[in-house]
Amino acid sequence: MLAPFARTVHSHLEVDGVRVFYRESLPDRADAPVLLLLHGFPSGSHQFRRLIDVLGSHYRLIAPDHPGFGHTQTPDGLTYSFDRLADITEGFVQRLGLAQFVMYVFDFGAPIGFRIAERHPEWIAGLVVQNGNAYEEGLSDAARGLIGLTPTTPGAREAIQGMLTLEGTRSQYETGVTSPERIAPDGWTLDQHFLDLSGRKEAQQALIFDYHSNVERYDDWQAWLRRHTPPTLITWGSHDPFFPEPGARAYLRDLPDAEVHLFDTGHFALETHLPEIAPLIADFLNRAWR
């Protein structure tokens, strides 16, 4: 017998002039654990659609598109910074009336999520960290080079624009992947569709120039982890070209009881290892939710 696939809804919420698009599963139980899914660059909530299908019948999964990504619509003049994206995500959570949730942080979703956690520790029932970095040793040389770019760095804008091409987007999915045939092309082609919309590449450029603000807060986020010790599940693609394996193990310094699972793949680990990762998340939600 086939396992039941989740019923889902797709909608928008208005937050400070931003029409935040989100996907939400409708679980069988009204009191089901809640998992807030924060996506990364250069993707959107669609990166979680298979996870939602698999787990959404038993858990309430909610995946918004950040401003500058996916189907979320933004007003002219919006400031694209990680602080501002965290403001919008905070307002989104408040509009939904979520009192508590487990937070899944991936890539750009990690600095957004850790800002939320600092502001509202009472919201966080646990963390699922998938290639979401908060440690210096989790930065590759390529990541350090990108983070070091400023608007006045010669060639910086051209270097960033080169990442925002179809070839650059595809490479983020395939670099470090030992079985690239397991990656459907839909992910990077859909990402590129959104990147090619008016104003999107400028938004991504602004966020990359702002990424240094995240590294500057690593000490604060690590202190938050030590202070609050949230239950934490870490699933990590070991061959991530931006956030290598030491970034996963570094969490154990501050969260010695965290579970760490490493996978022989790249940045988008869910693309290749959903059958292995989804049961880990389900088991974690059952134990972390109180």
Per-residue pLDDT band at 1 (split at 50, 70, 90): very low
* C-alpha distance from residue 59 to each of 21, 105, 168 (Å): 20, 17, 34
Give a yes or no: residue 29 inside a domain: yes
Residue 2 has pLDDT above 50, yes or no: no
Give a yes or no: residue 268 inside a domain: yes
Give a yes or no: residue 2 inside a domain: no
Say which of 39, 66, 239, 267 is annotated catalytic. 267
Residue 3 has pLDDT above 70, yes or no: no
- Residue-averaged pLDDT of the chain: 96
71 is catalytic: no
Give a yes or no: residue 277 inside a domain: yes
Q: At what angle do helices 246-254 and 218-228 cross, to 10 degrees?
A: 50
Per-residue pLDDT band at 4 (split at 50, 70, 90): low
Give a yes or no: residue 1 inside a domain: no
Specify the number of domains making up the chain: 1
Q: What is the pLDDT of residue 290?
A: 78
Residue 98 has pLDDT above 90, yes or no: yes
Dig out the tokens for 214 from the structure.
């995240």
Write the CATH number for 114. Answer: 3.40.50.1820
Q: Which domain holds residue 284?
A: 7-288
Give a yes or no: residue 115 inside a domain: yes
Q: Looking at 92-101, 179-188, 223-232, which range is the least confident one?
A: 179-188
pLDDT per residue as tens digits for the range 143-197:
999 999 999 999 999 999 999 999 999 999 999 999 899 999 999 999 999 999 9
Measured distance CA(253)–CA(130) in Å, rounded: 17
Is residue 21 classed exposed, middle or buried when 0-12, 13-18 and 19+ CB atoms within 10 A define those classes? Answer: buried
Q: What is the pLDDT of residue 52?
A: 97
Q: What is the pLDDT of residue 138?
A: 97
The pTM score is: 0.97
Tokens 């069988």 locate to 28
